């Protein structure tokens, strides 16, 4: 099939009210529309006042179809000179809209060559400066506490608006398409316990408490002792109350320590989507520390969001929307990078790898659905329209990335040399 990779332009009578463009806006528009001609997969329609521009495959043949409505002439300039961050900022400012933001993300990431051209040439100076600023957010002990607080200490009430009742802020696992978020979150917790082959006699260490859901579930349903640590002030206070409410103070020890300050020996170790906050400068320290905390026959499970091996080295020093606005100091490892550090910095070996990427796409869709139903409550908590649009962009940005597998999620199970207890079937 020959792809319709040329731009078609038609006039519309129902003009959308947009700001009068400056000379720079007009030039940026021409350049951005020319760059969009490189689109070859999916279909994108850009409606700008009385004009409609179409890119990519014919709409009737495309599997992914997206529509953008331009509300302000500065959008093109922001996209041209600030890349994907600029497009996010323009969306948050209300300068463009779409009936399906996830579809916009999907059609863009499906056209990686075009996206790289838009992000690497005209926006190079902006990204260089932004990346230098981002490097000041390194995940030292002090830096990690600041970076974690910037996101997780927003408000416990805010997160409770869209998370399940156990407050699991990580990918769930859906047994069937009709499984609810609540059921999928609990199934994920049970799946982790089985992968770790948890026993009542085990002492489980959790690095990254979240709001206490994993620690409480393991202690309550598997009878093991749990030590869990967080550096988030708000999560610590919430988890402390949740543990007390569950009557598990004798089973669960809650710490407020950086992982680098932990000591002791544990039978099992779990860390759910915490490695993204470690930073590539500290992977050696992180994995070596995890290994040292396990007994010679221990098991460790890490649930991690990863980028592809091909993209890792290009992305690790580049700032994007997520690192600027959502997770300062964040960095996604790749499977190969994790394997390399486990091989070089520990005596552990991989015994299980479970991909749950598409489960994360559905988890995000469920979070987004719940979030959209609670906008009045979000406003009541003091958050404004800009924040709401930022959060919408974040959820859709990640959902689209997982659906098209430019980012992935997996559960890695690693065993120490003397471990003979293999993961149990879920």
pLDDT per residue over 339-380, tens digit each? Answer: 999 999 999 999 999 999 999 999 999 999 999 999 999 999
| Shared-domain flag, residues 26 and 174 | no
| Shared-domain flag, residues 195 and 105 | no
Q: How many whole angstroms separate alpha carbon 345 and alpha carbon 290? A: 10
| CATH number of the domain within which 366 lies | 3.40.50.150
Q: Are residues 214 and 228 in contact, defined by beta-carbon separation less than 8 angstroms?
A: yes
pLDDT at 7: 37
- Residue 426: inside a domain, yes or no? no
Q: What is the pTM of this model?
A: 0.90
Q: How many whole angstroms separate alpha carbon 320 and alpha carbon 304? A: 19
What's the first-to-final CA gap in the chain, in angstroms?
A: 43
Total tally of structural domains belonging to the chain: 2
Q: How many whole angstroms separate alpha carbon 42 and alpha carbon 400? A: 13
Could you tell me the two tokens for 256? 């407020």
| Shared-domain flag, residues 379 and 258 | yes
Q: How many whole angstroms separate alpha carbon 277 and alpha carbon 71? A: 36
Give residue 20's domain range. Answer: 8-122
Query: Using DSSP, how many helices (H) and how many strands (E) does the chain show?
Result: 17, 12
Residue position matching structure tokens 């809650």: 254
Q: How many whole angstroms separate alpha carbon 85 and alpha carbon 195? A: 38
pLDDT at 117: 79
| Shared-domain flag, residues 211 and 97 | no
Residues in the chain, total: 426
Question: Of 224, 396, 398, 419, which one is the catalytic site residue?
Answer: 398
pLDDT at 13: 32
Closest CA to 304 of 279, 338, 281: 338
Averaged pLDDT, groups of 10, the chain, 426 residues long: 34 42 89 95 96 94 96 94 93 98 97 82 62 61 62 84 97 96 98 97 98 98 98 95 98 97 98 95 97 98 96 86 88 96 98 97 98 97 94 98 97 96 72
| Shared-domain flag, residues 229 and 355 | yes
pLDDT at 11: 33
pLDDT at 103: 98
- Residue 128: inside a domain, yes or no? no
Q: Are residues 293 and 265 in contact, defined by beta-carbon separation less than 8 angstroms?
A: yes
- Residue 134: inside a domain, yes or no? no
Per DSSP, 324 falls in state: I
Residue position matching structure tokens 């869209």: 162
Could you tell me the two tokens for 329? 């100091």
pLDDT at 317: 81
Does residue 419 have an active-site annotation?
A: no
- Residue 26: inside a domain, yes or no? yes
Pairing of strands 96-97, 252-255: unpaired
Per DSSP, 355 falls in state: E
- Helix, strand, or coil here: 228? strand
pLDDT at 401: 97
């Amino acid at each position: 099939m020959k792809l319709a990779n040329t731009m078609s332009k038609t006039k519309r009578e129902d003009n959308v009210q947009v700001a009068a463009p400056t000379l720079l806006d007009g030039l940026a528009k021409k350049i951005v529309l020319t760059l969009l001609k490189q689109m070859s997969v999916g279909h994108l329609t850009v409606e700008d006042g009385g004009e409609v521009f179409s890119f990519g495959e014919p709409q009737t043949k495309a599997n992914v179809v997206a529509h953008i409505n331009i509300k302000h002439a500065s959008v093109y300039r922001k996209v041209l000179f600030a890349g994907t961050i600029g497009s996010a900022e323009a969306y948050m400012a209300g300068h463009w809209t779409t009936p399906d933001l996830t579809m916009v993300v999907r059609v863009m990431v499906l056209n990686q060559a075009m996206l790289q051209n838009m992000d690497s040439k005209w926006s190079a100076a902006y990204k260089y400066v932004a990346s230098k600023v981002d490097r000041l957010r390194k995940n030292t002990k002090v830096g990690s506490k600041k970076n974690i607080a910037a996101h997780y200490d927003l408000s416990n009430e805010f997160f409770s608006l869209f998370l399940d009742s156990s407050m699991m802020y990580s990918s769930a696992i859906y047994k069937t398409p009709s499984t609810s978020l609540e059921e999928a979150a609990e199934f994920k917790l049970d799946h982790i316990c089985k992968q770790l082959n948890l026993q009542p006699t085990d002492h489980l260490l959790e690095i990254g408490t979240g709001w206490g859901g994993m620690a409480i579930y393991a202690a309550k349903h598997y009878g093991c002792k749990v030590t869990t640590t967080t550096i988030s002030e708000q999560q610590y206070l919430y988890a402390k109350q949740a543990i007390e409410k569950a009557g598990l103070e004798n089973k669960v020890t809650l710490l407020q320590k950086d992982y680098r300050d932990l000591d002791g020996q544990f039978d099992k170790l779990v860390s759910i989507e915490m490695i993204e906050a470690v930073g590539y400068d500290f992977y050696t320290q992180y994995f070596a520390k995890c290994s040292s905390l396990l007994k010679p026959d221990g098991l460790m499970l890490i649930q991690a969001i990863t980028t592809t091996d091909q993209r890792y080295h290009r992305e690790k020093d580049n700032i994007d929307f997520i690192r600027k606005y959502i997770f300062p100091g964040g960095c996604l490892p790749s499977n190969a990078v994790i394997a390399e550090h486990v091989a070089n910095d520990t005596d552990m070996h991989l015994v299980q790898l479970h991909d749950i990427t598409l489960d994360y796409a559905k988890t995000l869709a469920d979070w987004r659905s719940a979030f959209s139903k609670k906008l009045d409550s979000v406003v009541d908590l003091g958050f404004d329209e800009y924040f709401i649009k930022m959060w919408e962009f974040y959820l859709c940005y990640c959902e689209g990335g997982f659906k098209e597998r430019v980012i992935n999620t997996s559960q890695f199970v690693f065993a120490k040399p003397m471990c003979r207890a293999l993961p149990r079937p879920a």
